[in-house]
Structure 1
Amino acid sequence: MLALLALVGCHRDMYDQPRLEPLEKNTFFDDGRSSRPLVEGVVEYGAISPNDVFNSGKVNGQFTEELPESMELNAALLKRGEQRFNIFCSNCHGRSGDGDGMIVLRGYRKPPTYHSDRLRGMPLGYFFDVATNGFGVMPSYASQIPVKDRWAIAAYVRALQLTQYAKLDDVPEAERQQLENAQPAATQSPSAP
C-alpha cells in the first residue's frame, strides 16, 4: 500500500515542464528567438563604473567635494534633502543634526553630531557614501532612498553644518536687515532718548 502511494505521489511535472534553452529556436515570437532582447534602460550588473561620481560619491577613489555635474544646488534640492532627511535620518540624528533623535532618547546609541570638527571637514561625497553603504551601526539606505535623494540629503547635511557656524557677515545685506528687524525688542540695542 505504501509503495502504491509513493508511486502515485511522485510526479515529475515540475522537472519535465516545457521550457526553452537559451538561444533555442522558438516559433512563439515573430523573430524566432527564445531569448528576448533586454528592455531599454537595463543596466548590466557591474556595468556601473566605480569611478561614476553620481553612483559612488567618489572621484579616483576619493570622496568628491561637490555634487555630481548632473545635479544643481538650488532651493528645490535642499528642500527635497530636508524632507528626506526628516523622514529617514532625523529619527537618529535629530532635526538639527546633533545626534539627539527619538531613537537616542529611547536608549539607542547616539550618532555623532554633524557639527563636530571631524564631520564638518568631511567632503560631501562622504555623506552620500555613508547613506549608500552605512557606517558603524547605521545600515545602508541604498535600497530605500534613490540616488538623487541621497545626494539631496548630503547637500542638506552640509547646509545644516553651515547654519551652525554662520556669521552675520555671511548673510546678504537685504536678508540681514530682515533679521535685525525681526529680533525681539529686548535684544535690540537701546536707542538714545
Structure 2
Amino acid sequence: MRLAIGLVGLGLLAACDTGTEERNAVASTRTVQRPYQALPPGTIARGAAARQAALEPPGPEPTPQLLARGEERFRVFCSPCHGIGGRGDGRVVSRGFAPPPSYREERLRGLSPEQIVQVITHGKGRMFPYADRVLPEERWAIAHHVKRLQGLEENP
C-alpha cells in the first residue's frame, strides 16, 4: 500500500516538469525564456498592409453614417483638448493645459482630410500620435467631421 502511494506521489511530481526545456531556461512561471532573434529583412507584420491601405488617400466618401461615426469618435478622442466645436476650448484647457489651435483658423481650414489623417496618425506639435488608439477608418471619419466643423459658421 505504501509502495502504491509512493509511486503515485512520484508520478505526480514527475508531471510537474515537462522536461522539454533546460531548467535554467525556464522561469518560475514556467514560461520559456529564449534569446531575442531579429526579424528577417523585409518582414512585414500581419495586417500592416491592410492598415496602410486604409490610410491611403482619397479615403472613404463622407456619407451621413461616416460623419456620425466621426462625430462620435471626435467626442471621445479629440474633444477633451479641442472642444466639442473644435475651438480649442476642451476640458483640459480649463485645467491648465495650453489650448490647441481652433479648427476655424485659416491655416487649419486649408488642411485636406488626408493631412488631418496624417496629424491624427503621427501627431504634430504638442499633439501626440493616435495611431495606436484610433483605427484608420475612424481617422478618416474624424477628419471628415473636422472638415464639417470648419464649414460651420462661427457663433458669437
TM-score, normalised to structure 2, is: 0.66
Letter in 1 for 2:25: Y
- Larger Cα-atom Rg: 1
Counterpart CA distance in 2 for 1:155 and 1:94 is: 16
Unaligned runs of 5+ in 1: 1-11, 20-42, 58-63, 166-193
* Corresponding position: 1:15 with 2:25: yes
* Corresponding position: 1:92 with 2:120: no
- Paired residue for 1:162, among 128, 145, 151? 151
2:117 match: secondary structure: helix
Superposed displacement of residue 72, structure 1: 2.8
Counterpart CA distance in 2 for 1:159 and 1:112 is: 17
Letter in 1 for 2:100: P
CA contact (8 A) 1:81 1:155 kept: yes
Superposed displacement of residue 85, structure 1: 0.2
Superposed displacement of residue 15, structure 1: 2.6
Counterpart CA distance in 1 for 2:78 and 2:109 is: 17
Within-5 A mapping of 1:69-148: 71-148=60-137
Structure 1's 135 and 15: CA in aligned 2 closer, same or farther, altered over 3 A?
Answer: same
Letter in 1 for 2:88: G
Q: Percent identity?
A: 38
Superposed displacement of residue 14, structure 1: 4.0
Q: Which has the higher contact order (CA 8 A, sep 6+)?
A: 2
TM-score, normalised to structure 1, is: 0.54
Partner of 2:45: 45
Unaligned runs of 5+ in 2: 1-21, 33-42
Higher helix share: 2
Letter in 2 for 1:108: F
The alignment's C-alpha RMSD in Å is 2.7
CA contact (8 A) 1:115 1:164 kept: no
Counterpart CA distance in 1 for 2:136 and 2:54 is: 8
Superposed displacement of residue 53, structure 1: 6.0
How many residues are matched? 118
